[in-house]
């Protein structure tokens, strides 16, 4: 004769086990669905084709849709180049895209990402003299890599590195916007 | 009620709840899915002879299990051998037909055929000592093949290749040599003549499903 009490107990234990496995988040992993972070810091860039160093003010907003994927928007405000305004008078840009976060069991959050963007650029004195405008909007593409380290509540540290691919096309000249870009700092965990 | 009958009933109820939990809850609910995304488009084999790079975005509204629609806008710039530049703006829509019976599943590739229509604004500028520019509006049809890879249920990376054929006033470019031996871009617009111009577009896009509209 079947021992129904034993059978019932086994089935109940199995159901509780499967529910607990599905509901469990990887122990110690800080990043989660709904995490919203923001930051503002300085960024430096080096343009290998133009051999010029640039300085920017950058802002980042990032929303984690789950523990693997985040949606990210960034803006770069151009301050100046180290050679004055000989190459660029302006090189502002905005980016949007997504990042893939590698699985960890801690507050350490490494990621890789891809963003597409738009630059508003104006070339400088080295290219002046021709007729027409020297300002234009130009498409950009940028892979990026970096990591965040989250403190328990409000703050996190971050380091970002990216390579920007694009060209400035205007009536006064056509020059590459390709650039290695690096930034680091302290960010806020908003949600 | 006898004890063993009550136990049997409880076991049956537990088993039924387990089966119903494992059921595909999205079956029959694919229509109405709304996704938003950004894209990078590259243009090849234009009349300019040089590849173009673009920035844009799109949203998708899924009509059924194997039918989706893509509504997009692109801004593409082309460097014509440093002698001129071309700017294209596309705005249009496409219908996607999935080859898989169950497309857009997590960690699966979903290939599709695509066809659609768009409107295009083109401006070609010659960078000679006196800047010459010609512009036109045109209509186009596009057709091609693409594939989504769903990294998660809601987020996908899409690669698309399509051929776009434009109907509009013909803008023709030639590289000429002036009297001093210097190269320049000659841009001609043949008003009154409707031309057919095609180019190949490859697009990579990142998309996230943000809502189910119905």
Whether the per-residue pLDDT at B16 is higher than 50: the answer is yes
Nearest C-alpha of chain B: how many angstroms from A59?
19
Task: Please say whether the beta carbons of B57 and B37 come within 8 A.
Answer: yes
ipTM: 0.77
More reliable by pLDDT, B106 or A8? B106
| Interface contact B77-A167, CB threshold 8 A | yes
| Cα B139-B140-B146 angle, rounded to 5 deg | 150
* Residue among A121, A170, A169, A50 nearest B53 (CA): A169
More reliable by pLDDT, B188 or A18? B188
Q: What's residue B23's pLDDT?
A: 42
Looking at A100-109, B1-10, B121-130, B176-185, which range is the least confident one? B1-10
Q: Tally the residues of chain A.
A: 191
Ordered DSSP codes for chain B: --HHHHHHHHHHHHHHHHHHHTS-TTTT--TTEEEEEEEEEEEES-TT-S-EEEEEEEEEEE-SSSEEEEEEEEEEEEEETTTEEEEEEEEEEEEEEESSSS-S-TT-EEEEEEEEEEEEEEEEEE-SSS-EEEEEEEEEEEEEEEEEEESSSSEEEEEEEEEEEEEEEEEEEEEEE-TTS-EEEEEEEEEEEEEEEEEEEEEEEEEEEEEE--
| Interface contact A4-B38, CB threshold 8 A | no
Mean pLDDT (whole number) for A121-125: 87
Q: pTM, whole model, 2 decimals?
A: 0.80
| Cα A77-A79-A84 angle, rounded to 5 deg | 145
DSSP state of B102: S
Q: What's residue B2's pLDDT?
A: 53
| Interface contact A7-B11, CB threshold 8 A | yes
Which of A12, A100, A174 is closest, CB to CB, to B79? A174
Task: Please say whether the beta carbons of B92 and B152 come within 8 A.
Answer: no
Looking at A12-21, A26-35, A79-88, B81-90, which range is the least confident one? A12-21
Looking at A181-190, B122-131, B136-145, which range is the least confident one? B122-131
φ, ψ for residue B192, nearest 5 deg: 90, -15
Whether the per-residue pLDDT at B198 is higher than 60: the answer is yes
| Interface contact A167-B79, CB threshold 8 A | yes
* Residue among A135, A55, A89, A167 nearest B78 (CA): A167
| Interface contact A118-B131, CB threshold 8 A | no
A14-67 per-position pLDDT tens digit: 555 444 444 444 457 888 999 999 999 999 999 999 999 999 999 999 999 999
Whether the per-residue pLDDT at B24 is higher than 50: the answer is no
Contacts of B8 in chain A (CB under 8 A): 4
Mean pLDDT (whole number) for B110-134: 88
B44-73 per-position pLDDT tens digit: 877 667 889 999 999 999 999 999 999 999
Nearest C-alpha of chain B: how many angstroms from A6?
10
Mean pLDDT (whole number) for B19-29: 47
Contacts of B55 in chain A (CB under 8 A): 116-118, 139-140
């Amino acid at each position: 004769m079947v021992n129904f009490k034993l059978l019932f107990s086994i089935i109940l234990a199995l159901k509780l086990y499967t529910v607990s496995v599905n509901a469990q988040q990887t122990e110690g992993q800080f990043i989660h669905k709904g995490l919203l972070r923001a930051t503002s810091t300085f960024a430096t860039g080096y343009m290998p084709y133009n051999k010029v160093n640039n300085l920017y003010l950058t802002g980042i907003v990032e929303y984690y849709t789950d523990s693997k994927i985040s949606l990210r928007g960034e803006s770069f405000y151009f301050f100046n180049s180290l050679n004055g305004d000989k190459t660029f008078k302006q090189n502002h840009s905005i980016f949007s895209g997504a990042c893939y976060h590698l699985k960890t069991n801690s507050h350490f959050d490494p990621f890789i990402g891809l963003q597409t963007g738009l630059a508003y650029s104006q070339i400088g004195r080295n290219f002046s003299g021709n007729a027409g405008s020297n300002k234009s909007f130009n498409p950009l593409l940028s892979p990026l890599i970096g990591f965040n380290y989250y403190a328990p509540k409000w703050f996190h540290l971050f380091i970002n590195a990216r390579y920007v691919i694009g060209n400035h096309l205007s009536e006064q000249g056509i020059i590459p916007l390709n650039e290695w870009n690096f930034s680091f700092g302290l960010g806020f965990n908003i949600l | 009620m006898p004890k063993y009958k009550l136990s049997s009933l409880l076991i049956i109820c537990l088993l039924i709840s387990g089966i119903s939990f494992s059921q595909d809850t999205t079956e029959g609910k694919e229509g109405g899915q709304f996704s938003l995304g950004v894209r990078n488009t590259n243009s090849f084999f234009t009349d300019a002879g040089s590849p173009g790079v673009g920035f844009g975005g799109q949203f998708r509204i899924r009509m059924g299990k194997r039918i989706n629609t893509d509504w997009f806008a692109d801004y593409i710039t082309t460097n014509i051998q440093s002698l001129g530049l071309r700017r294209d703006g596309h705005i249009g829509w496409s219908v996607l037909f999935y080859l898989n019976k169950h497309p857009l599943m997590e960690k699966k590739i979903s290939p599709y055929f695509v066809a659609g229509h768009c409107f295009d604004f083109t401006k070609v500028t010659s960078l000679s000592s006196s800047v010459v520019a010609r512009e036109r509006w045109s209509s186009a049809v596009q057709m091609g093949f693409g594939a989504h890879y769903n990294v998660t249920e809601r987020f996908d990376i899409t690669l698309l290749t399509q051929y776009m054929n434009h109907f509009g006033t013909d803008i023709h470019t030639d590289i000429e040599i002036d009297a001093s031996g210097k190269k320049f871009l000659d841009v001609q617009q043949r008003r009154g003549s409707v031309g057919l111009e095609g180019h190949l577009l490859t697009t990579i896009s990142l998309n996230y499903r943000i809502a189910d509209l119905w």
